[in-house]
Amino acid sequence: MWTRFSAWFGSALAEPPPEWAPPPPASSPVAVREDPQPQPQPSTTAPQSAVAPKRTSLPTLSQYIIDAYIDLVRGGVLENGAALEVYNQGQRMLFAQPEQDPLGVLTTTLFFLRFHDIVDLSWKSRQSAAVTLTTFHKLCTSQRSLRSLLTVERVIRRFLLPKEEAVVRNLDALVHNHVHLECRLAWQCDLLHFWQTSPMAGVEERLWELLDAGHLTESAVIMVRGIVFYFLANALLDGHYAKNFEVYSVYDMGCAVVGLAILCARRAWHDMDHCSDLTGRHRRCAITLLGVTRRTQAHRIASYSDSTYKLSTGTCVTPENLKLVAASLASAEPLPPATAAPAAP
């Protein structure tokens, strides 16, 4: 349905890097050489890159993107304020922090890159992640462009590894190339369709159904909306998303995530043990999602780790609360199926 993102960068990736003299393409960070000398002949075993830390010290690409987005929003590079104007100050502090992904930017970015099999931490993958992140941020905030090329530069610097940023000398070329790649992404991919068919769209659809039916108030929707990304992020960071969740439709996934978030909020905020209204496929998906979350818990950061205030997302996702919800789901009887109406005589 969508053109593979990795095909955009031409054949340069397939060609071996030059020994010296010709500079790399503008889409790659270039290191400064103060005293250029002819390179020795390469040995049979390639040495560790001078600008990359050891592989064991690197996060996954998903973790890298989440951390980068949090830094960029908290640092004022990417602004969410206008898109969250319906939130009051207290709601922004408790339920609209960047690690809670209140606009769905992170969720859609991670799913888009996963669809295109972009998972490693090479510069091409990090560049693809930066372009996708800023493009979806513009889409969800209705911002046609970032404030300036300086803003784009700050985004690119955040996606460079520390030793790369210290020696890069073609930053201007990387900035202009980022803008061109954004245009190419918007031209070749139906981003709105992808947004509307991502699991976060299922979450939004289910929240709207509950709001429209009067089961949730607008403030309750905001509160639940601040919880759901914790489960989605841990499902993605676990590394087995395809095996665990691709058997479910987008709507089923959304219903399971919302249902699980509500169960955790009931237990943490109101000390209620009630989960019989989560049944069928949604219940099975929620149990799998909770099991993955309890095993991983890689996203227990910032607001998801702060339980000082009772009505916060941190109190909903504590290990103790998740354990109680898991026991409740395992022991509760599902609601009996509705009986069919008698046939007309």
The answer as to whether 27 is a domain residue is no
Q: What are the b/e assignments for 164-186, b being 16+ CB within 10 Å?
A: beeebebeebbbebbeebbebbe
Q: What residues contact residue 193 under an 8 Å CB cut-off, 6+ apart?
A: none
Helix residue spans in the chain (DSSP H): 61-74, 89-95, 105-115, 123-141, 149-159, 162-167, 171-188, 191-196, 199-212, 218-225, 228-237, 241-245, 250-270, 280-296, 313-316, 319-331
- Cα separation, 125 vs 220, whole angstroms: 37
Average pLDDT rounded to a whole number, residues 77-86: 89
Same domain flag for 247 and 271: yes
pLDDT, residue 3, reads 36
Residue 48 lies in a domain: no
> What pLDDT does 25 receive?
55
Question: Are 136 and 235 found together in one domain?
Answer: no
- What are phi and psi for residue 284, nearest 5 degrees? -65, -40
**What average pLDDT does the chain have?**
83
Domain-located, residue 19: no
What's the pLDDT score for residue 11?
A: 30
Annotate 94-125 with DSSP letters as a single string: HH--GGG-TTSHHHHHHHHHHHTT--S-SHHH
Q: Positive or negative CA dihedral for 179, 185, 190, 194?
A: negative
Residues 73 and 175 in one domain: yes
* Same domain for 208 and 190: no
Confidence (pLDDT) at 29: 86
For residue 214, what is the DSSP state?
T
- Classify residue 10: in a domain, yes or no: no
Give the pLDDT mean for 136-145: 79
Reply yes or no on whether the pLDDT at 193 is more than 60: yes
Task: Say what the pLDDT of residue 38 is.
Answer: 45
Sorted by sequence, the CB contacts under 8 Å of residue 11 that are 6+ apart come out as: none
Mean local confidence (pLDDT), 291-316: 93
Q: Worst-scoring range by mean pLDDT, 16-30, 105-119, 238-252?
A: 16-30
Q: Are residues 296 and 207 in the same domain?
A: yes
Q: Is 343 a member of any domain? A: no
| Model pLDDT, residue 20 | 30
Last residue of a domain, one of 170, 195, 220: 195
* pLDDT over 60 (residue 138): yes
Q: Which residue has the tokens 């339980």?
A: 307
Are 186 and 74 members of one domain? Answer: yes
Domain for residue 273, yes or no?
yes
pLDDT (mean) for 164-169: 90
Domain identity same for 66 and 177: yes
**pLDDT number for residue 18:** 33
Give the pLDDT of residue 287. Answer: 96
- Classify 236 as helix, strand or coil: helix
Instruction: Identify the three-state secondary structure at position 59.
Output: coil
187 lies in the same domain as 62: yes
Q: Which domain holds residue 165?
A: 58-195
Residues 304 and 210 in one domain: yes
Report the C-alpha gap between 236 and 108 in whole angstroms: 12
State how far the Cα of 202 lies from the Cα of 265, in Å rounded to an integer: 19
**Among 21-35, 136-150, 256-270, 327-341, whose mean pLDDT is lowest?**
21-35
- Do 106 and 127 lie in one domain? The reply is yes
The reply to whether 327 falls in a domain is yes
Q: Which of the listed residues 195, 210, 229 is the one where a domain comes to its end?
A: 195
Give the span between the Cα atoms of 66 and 312, in whole angstroms: 20
**pLDDT above 80 (res 262):** yes
Residue 29 belongs to some domain of the structure:
no
Could you say which of 163, 180, 195 is where a domain stops?
195
Total structural domains within the chain: 2
- Same domain membership, residue 222 and residue 162: no
What burial letters (b/e) apply to 148-163, b meaning 16+ CB within 10 Å?
Answer: eeebbbbbbbbbbbee
**Quick one: pLDDT at residue 28?**
85
Distance CA(9)–CA(12), nearest Å, equals 7
User: Whole-angstrom Cα distance, residue 134 to residue 128?
Assistant: 10
Q: At residue 33, does pLDDT exceed 50?
A: yes
Percent of the chain at pLDDT above 90? 64
Q: What is the pLDDT of residue 333?
A: 57
Is the C-alpha dihedral spanning 257, 259, 262, 267 positive or negative? Answer: negative
Residue 210 and residue 154 share a domain: no
Whether pLDDT at 45 is above 50: no
Q: For residue 216, is pLDDT > 90?
A: yes
- C-beta separation of 313 from 100 below 8 A: yes
Q: How confident is the model at residue 192 (pLDDT cuts 50, 70, 90)?
A: confident
